[in-house]
Structure 1
Amino acid sequence: MLNNKNHIRTYIKKILSEMDELAHKNSSQTIHTRLFLTDYWTESKVIAITVSRGREIETIPIIQKAWSEQKKVLVPKCYPKTNEMEFREITSLHQLEQVYFGLSEPKVQVTNLVLPNQIDLIIVPGVCFDQKGYRIGYGGGYYDRYLEAFRGRTLSLSFRFQLVDEVPREAHDRAVQLIVTEDEVIHCDRND
């Protein structure tokens, strides 16, 4: 199973890395527009989201839109030694720092920890997704562990080529409730 996940992850990451800059920008903007029209977005006041890098769907415009709507923005802080993750509120991009693998994370000394029960929506990153909301992430398992006890809403953003027929899954994998692509909004809980 792990071999198959790694193969799919590598294949989709290669396609992502080869994505044309203009297509990337246009597709990201289309996905943003669809996201902003969902109830998940409009009804949420506290949103957790990663800071994108490379050819991932751009998230800085989402963060800025959230601030313009007086939403709280949370960014994950990961602790590789313990495989734990927490979300911290940022009010400025200056509160971020570059850490391992070029990830942007909140500076602990200038941000506040937010507990899971205070979060309305987590925008869950991933490399690829299936219609049931299962995903292949980046291999650390941080989100699957965090989502075990999370009871709020979850969604993922995906380019259409990141959708696959079926993601190999294990007992600890957690599905998201909604996937937003350039073409559609998929209600995963209706696809069981």
Structure 2
Amino acid sequence: MSTENSSQRPSLEQQSHSRNSLRQHYINIRNSVSPKQQKEQALRLLECFQRNVMSPKLQKVALYITNKAELDTAPLISFLWQLNIDVYVPVLHPFCKGHLLFIRYAQTTPMTHNKYAIAEPILDVRNVIPLAELDTMLVPLVCFDEHGNRLGMGGGYYDRTLSAINKLSHKNKPQIELIGLAYDIQKALSLPNEKWDVPLTKVLTPSRLYRF
């Protein structure tokens, strides 16, 4: 897959398009990835992770279970399991609307589907991890730009999670490594941002690790 953006991209970004218009544009780009390419890109992502992110310090990693045309995390999750690294995935918070909990995810974890038809573990409070105890969080996104700005699906779930992590860092808590995951074709020139947006310092794609 080419790392170049579509020919439509500059004209879209140079105009005053809403975040929703940009979001839909990049969702369409992401949806254009064929099933065969998805598998290829997932394996390349794993290789890039092994080269650029893997460290003996990694013990508790949060990431997402792939939905639809998102960059597939299944090979990466299997790799982490093989190394006995604890994997945590998000579930919708049952009481705090718009928030996420992160639950330990293993091969034997009983699963369900949430209101968005996304697979998630059945909630068990014994397997919930406080954010401060995570080493690394791999964050899904619709697109990102050259400054680390991120645009998600619009529900605000990860915006709230990233904001909570950002507050932890200001309280001298152990810093959590935040890394966006995306196809190369999800990179934009520039994205609008709001006061609640938390920029990423790194984004991992199948071809490289971006640092901002």
TM-score, normalising length: structure 1: 0.89
Residue 35 to residue 27, structure 1, CA distance change in 2 (3 Å)? same
| Alignment map for 1:68-107 (pairs within 5 Å) | 68-79=82-93, 82-92=97-107, 94-107=109-122
Contact 1:46 1:73 in 2 (8 A): yes
Deviation (angstroms), 1:179: 0.9
The structure richer in strand per residue is 1
Alignment pair present for 1:124 and 2:148: no
Residue 41 to residue 152, structure 1, CA distance change in 2 (3 Å)? same
Alignment pair present for 1:140 and 2:164: no
Alpha-carbon distance in structure 2 between the residues aligned to 1:84 and 1:97: 18
Alpha-carbon distance in structure 2 between the residues aligned to 1:42 and 1:181: 21
Alpha-carbon distance in structure 2 between the residues aligned to 1:79 and 1:94: 18
Determine which of 188, 191, 202 is the counterpart of 1:167.
191
Tell which deviates more after alignment, 154-163 or 16-25: 16-25
Contact 2:42 2:75 in 1 (8 A): no
Deviation (angstroms), 1:85: 1.0
SS at match of 2:40: helix
Alignment pair present for 1:112 and 2:136: no
TM-score, normalising length: structure 2: 0.81
SS at match of 2:141: coil
Residue 14 to residue 111, structure 1, CA distance change in 2 (3 Å)? farther
Work out the number of aligned pairs and report it: 187
Deviation (angstroms), 1:95: 2.5
Superimposed CA distance per residue, residues 5-60 of structure 1 (whole angstroms, 9 cap, x where no aligned partner) = 10011111112222222222212211221012224655321000110021111112
RMSD: 2.0
- Extract unaligned runs of 5+ from structure 2: 1-15, 166-174
Which is greater in Rg? 2
SS at match of 2:104: strand
SS at match of 2:190: coil
Partner of 1:62: 76
Partner of 1:176: 200
User: Which amino acid counterpart does residue 120 of structure 1 have in structure 2?
Assistant: D
Alpha-carbon distance in structure 2 between the residues aligned to 1:27 and 1:57: 7
SS at match of 1:75: strand
